[in-house]
Chains A and B, each alone.
Chain A
Amino acid sequence: MTVENQNMLIMKHVSKTFNPGTVNEKCALMDLNLELKAGDFATIVGSNGAGKSTLFNAITGAFFADKGLVMLDGEDITYEKEHVRSRVIGHLFQDPLKGTAPHMTIEENMALAFLRASTSKNAYFSRIKSTDKKKFREHLALLDMGLEDRMKQPVGLLSGGQRQALTLLMATMVTPKILLLDEHTAALDPATAGKVLGLTKRIVAEQKITCLMVTHNMQQALELGNRTLMMDSGNIVFDVSGEERNKMTVDDLLKQFAVSAGKKLDNDRILFSKVQS
Chain B
Amino acid sequence: MGNIITLSIVQSALELGFIYALVAIALFISFSILNIADLSTDGCFTLGCAVCAAVTLAGHPILGLFAAMAAGVCSGFMTAFLQTKLGIQSILAGIIVNTGLYTVNIAVMGFASNMNLFQCESVFTWAKETIGGTWYKLIVAAVIVILVGIIISLFLNTRMGLSIRATGDNPDMVRASSINTTVMITIGLCVANALTGLSGGLLAQYQKSCDINLGTGMVTIALASLIIGETLIGKGSMLKRIAGVILGSCLYRFIVAVALRMNVPAECLKLVSSIIVAVAIALPYIKQQMAFNKQKRKAKAENQLYIQEILGENGNGGNV
Measured CB to CB, the residues of A under 8 A from B are 60, 62, 81-84, 86-87, 91, 93, 95, 97-104, 108-109, 111-113, 115-116, 123-128, 154
A141 to B238, CA, bound (A): 27
A101, B158: Cβ atoms closer than 8 Å = no
Q: Given contacts A104-B165, A112-B163, is CB(A86)–CB(B158) below 8 Å?
A: no
A112 to B163, CA, bound (A): 7
Chain B residues whose C-beta falls within 8 Å of the C-beta of A84 in the assembled complex: 178
Stretch at the interface among B1-9, B21-29, B82-90, B168-176: B168-176
Chain B residues whose C-beta falls within 8 Å of the C-beta of A154 in the assembled complex: 235
Most chain A CB within 10 A, of B154, B177, B179, B235, is at: B177
- Across the interface, name the chain B residue whose C-beta is closest to A61: B175
A119 to B53, CA, bound (A): 42
Chain B: minimal CB distance from A177 (Å): 13
Which residues 146-198 of B sit at the A interface, judged by CB distance below 8 A? 154, 157-160, 162-163, 165-166, 169-170, 172-181
Most chain B CB within 10 A, of A98, A112, A128, is at: A112
Chain B: minimal CB distance from A218 (Å): 27
Chain A residues whose C-beta falls within 8 Å of the C-beta of B154 in the assembled complex: 127
Q: Given contacts A101-B170, A104-B166, A126-B159, is CB(A112)–CB(B177) below 8 Å?
A: yes
Chain A residues whose C-beta falls within 8 Å of the C-beta of B175 in the assembled complex: 62, 82-83
Chain B residues whose C-beta falls within 8 Å of the C-beta of A109 in the assembled complex: 166
Give the size range of B's interface with the partner. Answer: 20 to 34
Chain A residues whose C-beta falls within 8 Å of the C-beta of B176 in the assembled complex: 60, 86, 91, 93, 98-99
Choose among A102, A111, A116, A128 the residue that contacts B170 (Cβ–Cβ < 8 A). A102
- The secondary-structure label for the interface of chain A is helix
Chain A residues whose C-beta falls within 8 Å of the C-beta of B170 in the assembled complex: 97-98, 100-102
Chain B residues whose C-beta falls within 8 Å of the C-beta of A125 in the assembled complex: 158-160
Chain B: minimal CB distance from A152 (Å): 9
Chain B residues whose C-beta falls within 8 Å of the C-beta of A98 in the assembled complex: 170, 172-173, 176
A116 to B166, CA, bound (A): 14
A82 to B180, CA, bound (A): 8
9 A-B residue pairs with CB within 8 Å: A82-B175, A83-B178, A83-B181, A101-B169, A109-B166, A111-B162, A115-B163, A124-B158, A128-B157
Chain B: minimal CB distance from A253 (Å): 30
Choose among B158, B159, B169 the residue that contacts A104 (Cβ–Cβ < 8 A). B169
A98 to B170, CA, bound (A): 7
A111 to B157, CA, bound (A): 10
Chain A residues whose C-beta falls within 8 Å of the C-beta of B172 in the assembled complex: 93, 95, 97-99
Choose among B169, B173, B178 the residue that contacts A115 (Cβ–Cβ < 8 A). B178
- Please give 7 more A-B residue pairs, beta carbons under 8 A apart, in addition to A95-B172, A125-B158: A60-B176, A102-B170, A112-B177, A113-B177, A115-B159, A115-B178, A127-B154
Chain A residues whose C-beta falls within 8 Å of the C-beta of B157 in the assembled complex: 127-128
A83, B159: Cβ atoms closer than 8 Å = no
- Across the interface, name the chain B residue whose C-beta is closest to A122: B159
A108 to B235, CA, bound (A): 15
B180, A83: Cβ atoms closer than 8 Å = yes
A111 to B235, CA, bound (A): 20
B166, A112: Cβ atoms closer than 8 Å = yes
Which residues 171-228 of B sit at the A interface, judged by CB distance below 8 A? 172-181
Most chain B CB within 10 A, of A62, A102, A127, is at: A127
Chain B: minimal CB distance from A212 (Å): 15
A103 to B169, CA, bound (A): 7
Chain A: minimal CB distance from B172 (Å): 4
A111, B173: Cβ atoms closer than 8 Å = no
Most chain B CB within 10 A, of A81, A109, A123, is at: A109
Chain B residues whose C-beta falls within 8 Å of the C-beta of A124 in the assembled complex: 158-160, 163
Choose among B158, B177, B235 the residue that contacts A116 (Cβ–Cβ < 8 A). B177
